[in-house]
Amino acid sequence: MRGIKGDGTAITVMAVDDSPVSRKMIKKALEPEGFQVVAEAGNGKQAVDLYASVKPDVITMDVTMPVMDGLEAASQIKAINSRQPIIMLSPMGDEDIMVEARQRGINEICSKPFKPDDIINSILKVL
């Protein structure tokens, strides 16, 4: 069970994606390994608003979303907690987007489509 920490508690995740199906796919990949998706947000603003009350171990962040995109949300969350691990999860892997993601403090980039091991390994890498 790779989603369980040394103290026996689950690694907590906030899944940020405007697609409910994508959020369901993230949960389907993580929960069998013991990870706990403790919060879901459908856009960047919701993620920023939820963040303080949730404080997950890691955030998976889509890029293209309505209201506030994932890059802006990552910047705002990093301004609250610069040590918060954030993984970008997106089908858009243009080099300019990757560079901007790194500049905004995104810790790891995982492309869609992902296999369960891809996202799990990304999470374990940033913790």
Partner 1 sequence: MEMNSQITPFVKATIKILKDMLGFEISSGGVEEEKDEFLSRGFSVLVGFAGGWKGRLIIDMPGETAMKMASAMTGEPYAAPGDEEVLLSGAELGNIIGGNAITDINNSNPGLQIRLTPPSVFAGEGMTMFNARVSSSSVLINTDVGQVKVNVAVEGA
Binding site for partner 1 (CB under 8 A): 19-22, 24-25, 28, 64, 90-95, 111-115
- Find the shortest distance in angstroms from Cβ 123 to partner 1: 18
69 contact partners, CB below 8 Å, separation of at least 6? 44, 63
Q: Which is nearer to partner 1, 32 or 79 (CB)?
A: 32
Q: Which is nearer to partner 1, 54 or 109 (CB)?
A: 109
14 - beta bridge partners? Answer: 39, 59
Max CA distance (Å), the chain: 40
Q: Which is nearer to partner 1, 16 or 84 (CB)?
A: 16
- Find the shortest distance in angstroms from Cβ 22 to partner 1: 5
112 contact partners, CB below 8 Å, separation of at least 6? 22, 89, 90, 91
